[in-house]
C-alpha cells in the first residue's frame, strides 16, 4: 500500500499513466500529481484520482522543456511538501508522427522529439526530483517506463534506442540513489493494469533473461548488492504473475517492461 505517499506520474493524461495514477490513489496515496502536456486529459485523470480518494492535481508540463520540468517539480513540492514516488511514464513513438520510420528516412525533428520525451526527460525529471526523493522518509522510488523495444529490435529506430537508453539510465541512477538504503522501511507495492495490457515492472527488465544464465553463486553475489537483490525478487514475482509495479524496501529505480502482446525470451 502507498499510505501517505505523494506520487508524480508523467504522461498521466491517458493510457497506462492514468491507470497508474488512479491505482496509486486506490492504494492509499495522499496525493498524486498528474503531469501531462494535454490539459484536458490531465485534468480528467486528476478528477479520477480524487474520486479514488487521493488529492489529485494536474501539473501542466511539456517534458521537452527543462525549465517546465523544474517548475513542475517545484509545484509538486509546494502543493504536497515532498515527493515519494516518481513514475517516469510518458513516452511517444515515431510511428505516431510519421509514416517514414526507417532510420534513413527519419527526420532530425522526429528523432529529437522521441529522444527528448522518452529518454532525456527521464534524466531531467529524476534529477529535478532527486532532492525531494532523497529527503523522503517513506520508501522513495523511481519507476521508469521501459519497453520490450529496449531489448529487442523493432522497426522503430529512435523508440528502440530511447527505451534501451532508459534501461541503462535506470541502472546507472539506481547506483547513485543507493545511499537511501538505511532510511527505508517496510516493503510496499502498487499495482496498475489497463485493458489487455499487462505491464509489469522490475528494476531491470532484462533480469529474467540474465538470471537464466547465472549460476547460484553469481545469484548469491548479486542478491547481496544494493538494488540487484530486490530486482531478482521482483523478477521472480513478476514471472509468477504477480504485481506489475514493485516499490521495494530498498531505494528503487525501476524500469517497466510492458508486454502488451509482446514477449521476450518466451515470457509474458
Ligand atoms: N501501450 C503499450 O503497449 C506500451 C508498450 C511498451 C511500452 N509502453 C510505454 O509505456 C508508456 C505509456 O504508454 P501509453 O501507451 O500509456 O502512452 P499514451 O500514448 O497512451 O500516453 C502518453 C502520454 O504522454 C503524454 N505526453 C506526450 N508527449 C508529452 C510531452 N512532451 N510532455 C508531457 N506529456 C507528454 C501524452 O499527452 C499522453 O497523455 C510509454 O513510455 C510507452 O513507451 C507502452
3-state secondary structure 220-238: HHHHCCHHHHHHHHHHHHH
Q: Is 89 in the pocket of ligand 1 (CB under 6 A)?
A: yes
pLDDT score at 257: 35
Give CA–CA dist 112/95, Å, rounded: 14
User: For residue 216, is it within any domain?
Assistant: no
Q: What is the mean pLDDT of each run of 10 residues along the chain (268 residues)?
A: 91 91 92 98 98 98 98 98 93 93 96 97 95 88 83 88 89 72 27 26 38 54 42 41 37 35 30
What pLDDT was estimated at residue 214?
A: 52
Can you give the pLDDT at residue 16?
85
pLDDT at 191: 28
Q: How far apart are the first and last CA of the chain?
A: 25
Protein residue with least CA distance to atom 15, ligand 1? 15
Does residue 91's CB lie within 6 angstroms of at least one atom of ligand 1?
Answer: yes
- Mutate which of 8, 10, 12, 16 for ligand 1? The one with the most ligand atoms within 8 Å of its CB, which is 16
From the list 32, 25, 20, 79, the residue with the least C-alpha distance to 52 is 25
Where in the sequence is the domain holding 64, given as residue range(s)? 6-206+244-258
Q: Is there an atom of ligand 1 within 6 Å of 255 CB?
A: no
**Residue 126, in any domain of the structure:** yes
Residue 140: its pLDDT value, please?
A: 83
Whichever domain contains 146, its CATH number is 3.40.50.720
- Number of domains, the chain: 1
Active site residues: 159
pTM higher than 0.85: no
Amino acid at each position: 500500500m502507498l499510505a501517505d505517499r505523494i506520487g508524480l506520474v508523467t504522461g498521466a493524461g491517458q493510457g497506462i499513466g492514468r491507470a497508474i495514477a488512479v491505482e496509486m490513489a486506490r492504494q492509499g496515496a495522499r496525493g498524486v500529481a498528474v503531469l501531462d502536456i494535454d490539459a484536458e486529459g490531465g485534468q480528467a485523470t486528476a478528477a479520477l484520482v480524487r474520486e479514488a480518494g487521493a488529492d489529485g492535481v494536474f501539473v501542466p508540463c511539456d517534458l521537452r522543456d527543462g525549465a517546465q520540468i523544474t517548475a513542475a517539480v517545484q509545484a509538486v513540492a509546494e502543493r504536497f511538501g515532498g515527493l515519494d514516488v516518481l513514475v517516469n511514464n510518458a513516452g511517444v513513438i515515431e510511428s505516431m508522427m510519421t509514416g517514414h520510420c526507417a532510420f534513413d528516412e527519419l527526420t532530425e525533428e522526429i528523432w529529437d522529439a522521441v529522444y527528448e520525451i522518452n529518454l532525456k526527460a527521464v534524466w531531467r525529471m529524476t534529477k529535478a526530483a532527486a532532492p525531494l526523493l532523497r529527503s523522503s522518509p517513506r520508501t522513495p522510488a523511481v519507476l521508469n517506463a521501459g519497453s520490450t523495444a529496449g531489448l529487442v529490435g523493432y522497426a522503430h529506430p529512435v523508440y528502440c534506442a530511447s527505451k534501451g537508453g532508459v534501461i541503462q539510465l535506470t541502472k546507472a541512477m539506481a547506483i547513485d540513489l543507493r545511499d537511501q538504503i538505511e532510511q527505508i522501511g517496510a516493503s510496499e507495492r502498487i499495482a496498475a493494469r489497463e485493458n489487455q495490457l499487462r505491464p509489469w515492472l522490475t528494476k531491470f527488465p532484462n533480469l529474467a533473461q540474465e538470471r537464466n544464465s547465472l549460476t547460484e553463486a553469481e545469484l548469491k553475489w548479486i542478491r547481496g548488492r544494493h538494488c540487484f537483490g530486490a530486482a531478482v525478487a521482483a523478477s521472480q514475482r513478476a514471472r509468477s504473475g504477480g504485481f506489475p509495479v514493485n516499490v521495494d524496501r530498498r531505494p528503487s529505480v525501476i524500469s517497466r517492461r510492458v508486454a502488451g502482446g509482446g514477449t521476450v525470451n518466451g515470457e509474458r
